[in-house]
């Protein structure tokens, strides 16, 4: 850095290790304009490639909150984008501490827009489902983050967008597949908590 250059050091440095990421996340969280109790938050790092860039864990009957940051997601998105993810998680904390529960509902959306935070954690996440055309010559494939009707009701209502053939749905986490709604119901049971 040359003499006399002015650098805004506040949040422009790039954490190089998981513990630096935690430190920076803690400092950053203090600057967010939300009436929340930060002292009950325990920050952790997930080193696995989970489906979420970060997540909040609440324990019923306890004020303690765990925010888990996914190291791989940070590496993929960089600090700039990751700040948005931290804001997203802190809105969950705010909603939980203020109203006793949290979701991605209208209250969340309103705050997220106010704080310019992403509306869903999964905006940053790998898809949860693949939709794969059964016609070998077609190669149509798409992804879904949510269990929409295209995921839960294949065949009966929906077909491949390219060739009109039925498609197979695959649950990315478990590689369990289904082709119809009734197969989905069984698969959903089998997948259980890994859903």
From the list 41-49, 62-70, 144-152, 154-162, the region that binds Zn ion by CB under 5 A is: 154-162
Distance CA 151, CA 156 (A): 11
What track of x and - describes contact with Zn ion for positions 164 through 183 (by CB under 5 A)? -x------------------
Contact yes or no for 157/149 (Cβ under 8 A): yes
Query: In terms of CB distance, is 21 or 121 closer to Zn ion?
Result: 121
Among 26, 45, 138, 147, binds Zn ion (CB under 5 A): 138
**Bridging pattern class, strands 65-70 and 41-46:** parallel
When asked if residue 135 is in the footprint of Zn ion (CB under 5 A), the reply is: yes
Distance CA 72, CA 126 (A): 12
**CA-based angle 159:160:165, to the nearest 5?**
75
Find the shortest distance in angstroms from Cβ 139 to Zn ion. 8
Among 140, 173, 181, 188, binds Zn ion (CB under 5 A): 140
When asked if residue 158 is in the footprint of Zn ion (CB under 5 A), the reply is: no
Query: In terms of CB distance, is 74 or 185 closer to Zn ion?
Result: 74
Contact yes or no for 79/11 (Cβ under 8 A): yes
Query: In terms of CB distance, is 139 or 190 closer to Zn ion?
Result: 139
Residues with Cβ within 8 Å of residue 69, at least 6 apart in sequence? 21, 22, 25, 43, 44, 45, 46, 53, 54, 82, 85, 86
Query: In terms of CB distance, is 13 or 143 closer to Zn ion?
Result: 143
Q: Binding residues for Zn ion, per CB under 5 A?
A: 121, 133, 135, 138, 140, 160, 162-163, 165
């Amino acid at each position: 850095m040359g003499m006399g250059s002015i650098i805004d050091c506040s949040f422009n440095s790039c954490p190089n290790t998981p513990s630096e990421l935690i430190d920076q996340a803690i400092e950053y969280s203090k600057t967010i304009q939300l009436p929340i109790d930060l002292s009950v938050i325990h920050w952790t790092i997930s080193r696995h490639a989970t489906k979420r860039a970060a997540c909040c864990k609440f324990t019923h009957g306890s004020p303690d909150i765990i925010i888990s940051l996914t190291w791989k997601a940070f590496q993929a998105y960089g600090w700039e984008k990751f700040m948005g993810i931290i804001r997203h998680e802190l809105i969950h904390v705010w909603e939980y501490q203020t109203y006793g529960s949290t979701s991605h509902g209208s209250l969340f959306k309103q705050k997220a827009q106010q704080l310019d935070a992403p509306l869903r954690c999964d905006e940053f996440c790998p898809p949860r489902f693949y939709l794969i055309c059964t016609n070998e010559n077609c190669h149509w494939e798409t992804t879904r983050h949510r269990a929409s009707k295209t995921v839960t009701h294949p065949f009966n209502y929906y077909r491949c967008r390219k060739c009109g053939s039925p498609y197979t749905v695959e649950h990315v986490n478990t590689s369990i597949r289904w082709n119809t709604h009734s197969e989905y119901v069984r698969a959903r049971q089998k997948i259980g908590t890994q859903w």
